[in-house]
Amino acid sequence: MLSRNREKFILSLQKRKIRDDLRLFVIEGDKIVREFLLSGRDIRYLIAKPEFISGIPVEFRSRIDEIIPVSYGELKKVSSLKTPHNAMAIVPMPEVTLKMGEISGNLTLALDTIQDPGNLGTIIRAAAWFGIRDLVCSETCVDVYNPKTVQATMGAIMHVNVHYTGLEEFLAAARNDGMEVFGTMLEGEPVYGAELAHNGVILLGNESRGISGNLIPLITRRLTIPGFNPVKSGIDSLNAGMAASIILSEFARRKFTSG
């Protein structure tokens, strides 16, 4: 049974301010909740239909602080999905710290003002697929714990450390550590022919305005995805998720073909 207070509490987590204050966020969907438990993480509240609850192996139960069995109708009231699955959970935000020393040998993705929650989710999914460990978001990016973003990551949020920080300082520090900063732009070196390092920072800009002016001087290499449409119309562009997928794939293929 879901008390009125609990219901209010769960719904309050749709607000960024509350999430940040409590350091909690919501994950939804049977597969994602199960995956979350399997990956060894803790769950503060599991809100689920009795069928789902009875299917959880006993050894995982100790990692759930409280289990709240609910009817489908109750789940629907607190879900941010139109047609919720059987389970949702409230989980602690992972505590991640960004240490330059630890990322200097890796490929890291930096996002400047990505504003669409679905785009951020897709980018995280691509990052997880291609083995990116750290994602550095400008403070002006949409919140990664927004229910729409979490949903769009399809669980990939578990596999990527997401940091929020000032990108100017971050990119300057990366440059100081001798890392390249690869800007993804409309005009630049075609990525297909480019020699690319196995480490550095890949910078993606805002969906409509691209990379902010103050970050441009910090870019060491400008990369572009060549278009092949004979009709240049300007609106048939790639979206942020597609551009991220292709650029990350290009870096990944160089590891693959050299290894």
Residues of this chain that bind a copy of itself (CB under 8 A): 31-32, 35, 38-39, 122, 125-126, 128-131, 154-156, 158-159, 190, 192-193, 225-231, 233-239, 241-242, 245-246, 249-250, 252-253, 255-257
How far does CA 30 lie from the centroid of its chain?
Answer: 19
Per-state percent for the chain, helix, strand, coil, to nearest 5: 40, 25, 35
Smallest gap from Cβ 43 to a copy of itself, in A, equals 17
The DSSP element (H or E) to which 6 belongs, if any, is helix 4-12
* Bridge partner list, 47: 68, 88
C-alpha to C-alpha distance for 131 and 255, rounded to whole angstroms? 11
In what side-by-side order are the strands of the sheet with 87-92?
Answer: 24-28, 87-92, 43-48, 64-69
The residue (of 92 and 118) whose beta carbon lies closer to a copy of itself is: 118
The residue (of 132 and 167) whose beta carbon lies closer to a copy of itself is: 132
Smallest gap from Cβ 132 to a copy of itself, in A, equals 8
The DSSP element (H or E) to which 255 belongs, if any, is helix 240-258
Taking alpha carbons only, the member of 144, 149, 143, 213 closest to residue 185 is: 213
The residue (of 112 and 250) whose beta carbon lies closer to a copy of itself is: 250
The residue (of 70 and 153) whose beta carbon lies closer to a copy of itself is: 153
The residue (of 218 and 247) whose beta carbon lies closer to a copy of itself is: 247
How far does CA 94 lie from the centroid of its chain?
Answer: 13
Smallest gap from Cβ 238 to a copy of itself, in A, equals 6
The residue (of 69 and 188) whose beta carbon lies closer to a copy of itself is: 188
C-alpha to C-alpha distance for 240 and 115, rounded to whole angstroms? 10
C-alpha to C-alpha distance for 214 and 153, rounded to whole angstroms? 29
